[in-house]
Amino acid sequence: MAEQTDLLVLGGGTGGYVSAISAAQAGLNVVLVEQDKLGGTCLHRGCIPTKALLRSAEVYDTIKRSGEFGIEQAETAVVNFQRMQERKQGIVNQLHQGVEELCKKNKIRVLKGTGAVLGPSIFSPVSGAIAVTFNDKSQEEEIIVPKNVIIATGSSPKTLPNLPLDEENILSSDGMLRLENLPQSIMIVGGGVIGVEWASLLNSLGVDVTIVEFFDRLLVNESATISKELKRTFSKKGIKVLLKSKVTEAEIQEGKVKVAIDGQEPLLVEKVMVAIGRSANVERLGLQNTSIKYNEKGIEVNQHYQTTEGHIYAIGDCIDTLQLAHVAMKEGELAVSHLLQQKTEPLNYKNVPRAVYTNPEIASVGYVKENLPEDKKVKFGRFNFSGNGKSLVYGEKAGFVEVIRDLDTDDLLGVSIIGPHATDLISEVSTALYLDASPFEIGEAVHPHPTLSEAIQEAALDTYGKAIHK
């Protein structure tokens, strides 16, 4: 007899386990199927491990500059990459254990294996029964018939035909996290979020870094002014940035990689990292057994994350929305609320903050100049961190805050930040957007002094020509 349950979640990444916990807290019986470890890409191969390494690089950068702060003998500092990796893994392990304990606390049945969606069968008159194949081959396949399914199978790194991944010489972000030693030189193919974060990290640790980007600027989804400032700071640090460039061939030669680039001399580097984005994991899920529509961009869903099979939902990287962990979490919560027949408001993706953990950090929310609707009449406000007291105290005077105001409605339309602690600062304006605050209200709110947040206040006031310190 097939097991019955209220909800089966296919995938135990951030979106998946948050969905499972939300449903269990509401009193549902929940089964979660995960092939690898709970926490998924974000916890084990993405957000957390890379930020742990970036923090080590930030500390090393600070030590190298310690003479500016009156602390000498910085020349004795050395990079112990193995110790950095051990610290990273310790953080990951601690968080992984926490997720496992949360699932146990909420009485979620976690199955280690893969799941495939079945069409109508003897187990169920409608699609949605799940055949679970266990990692432990001694266990027989199990059929589970849930009332609802949430697919949260995530994504995998993309590559190019002329850059086949071997995870030794030509690596994805997964392979980069398994490095035992730092390379002397690396070419990063792709100037998006993943590429620029790794470029910043490796450059800080002394690696010779070259970025090859097909488009005319880094971070094409961010403001052009942000892209320009990032390239300026990268160039100042010694990172070579090749824009409007395309890799045509890569050849392994005596443990190194010779890379041919359109219109330029070939480069010989120790490693190549491919960072051109991620593909939705939609194959081998049994979706062909159902009426669910999907393509290479992901599974098609409505505003409540329902597929064409109304009791089957999909969230996170396996659908065509922002591939961000906090987006997957929120989508999971909203999907659970909907299947519980609770009233929900569709997620406004323009109000979702975006963060890039380079040095300097970058964060934004809402519109940028390049994607503003054509009918919008706007005013830009800007304040440089060089005029902010706390920024000077930190010794981080590069960067700025940029605010966009709608002249007709006085609405806050977007904020972009490049500078110290940008990824933390963005929460203030993300909340302001959510609460429909105007730039004037941000400017009028009392901000403590001296703080970095005063730069947001000044930029908001600057949209009215009322910035005090500009």
pLDDT tens-digit readout, 26-74: 999 999 999 999 999 999 999 999 999 999 999 999 999 999 999 987 6
Asked whether residue 387 falls in the same domain as residue 423, the answer is: yes
Number of domains in the chain: 3
Query: Which of 68-77, 167-176, 231-240 is predicted with the least confidence, judged by mean pLDDT?
Result: 68-77
Per the prediction, the chain carries an average pLDDT of: 96
Instruction: State whether 105 and 26 are in the same domain.
Output: yes
Q: Are residues 268 and 297 in the same domain?
A: no
Predicted confidence at residue 77, as pLDDT, reads 87
33/135 same-domain check: yes
Are residue 184 and residue 243 in the same domain, yes or no? Answer: yes
Q: pTM for this structure?
A: 0.95
SS3 string, the chain, reads: CCEEEEEEEECCEHHHHHHHHHHHHCCCCEEEEECCCCEHHHHHHCHHHHHHHHHHHHHHHHHHCHHHHCCCCHHHCCCCHHHHHHHHHHHHHHHHHHHHHHHHHCCCEEEEEEEEECCCCCCCCCCCCEEEEECCCCCCCEEEEEEEEEECCCEEECCECCECCCCCCEECHHHHCCCCCCCCEEEEECCCHHHHHHHHHHHHCCCEEEEECCCCCCCCCCCHHHHHHHHHHHHHHCCEEECCCCEEEEEEECCEEEEEECCCCCEEECEEEECCCEEECCCCCCHHHCCCCEECCEECCCCCCECCCCCEEECHHHECCCCCHHHHHHHHHHHHHHHCCCCCCCCCHHHCCEEECCCCEEEEEECCHHHCCCCCCEEEEEEEHHHCHHHHHHCCCCCEEEEEEECCCCCEEEEEEEECCHHHHHHHHHHHHHCCCCHHHHHHCCCCCCCCCHHHHHHHHHCCCCCCCC
Residue 355 counted as domain residue: no
The residue-averaged pLDDT of 151-172 equals 95
Specify the pLDDT at position 74. Answer: 66
Query: Which of 44, 304, 449, 469 does the annotation list as catalytic?
Result: 449
Residue numbers of the domain that contains 431: 360-462
Of 319, 349, 379, which marks where a domain is finished?
Answer: 349
Q: How much is the pLDDT for 61? A: 94
Residue that terminates a domain, selected from 223, 247, 276: 276
Residue 354, domain member (yes or no): no
403 vs 77, residue with greater confidence = 403
Q: Above pLDDT 70, what percent of the chain?
A: 100
User: Active-site residue 449, yes or no?
Assistant: yes
pLDDT of residue 60: 95
Span 138-149, average pLDDT = 96
pLDDT value at residue 189:
98
* pLDDT of 1 over the 80 cut: no
Residue 69 domain flag: no
CATH number of domain containing 312: 3.50.50.60
Residue 50 in any domain: the answer is no
Q: How confident is the model at residue 226 (pLDDT cuts 50, 70, 90)?
A: very high
Q: Is residue 57 part of a domain?
A: no
Q: Is residue 78 part of a domain?
A: no
* 197 shares a domain with 329: no
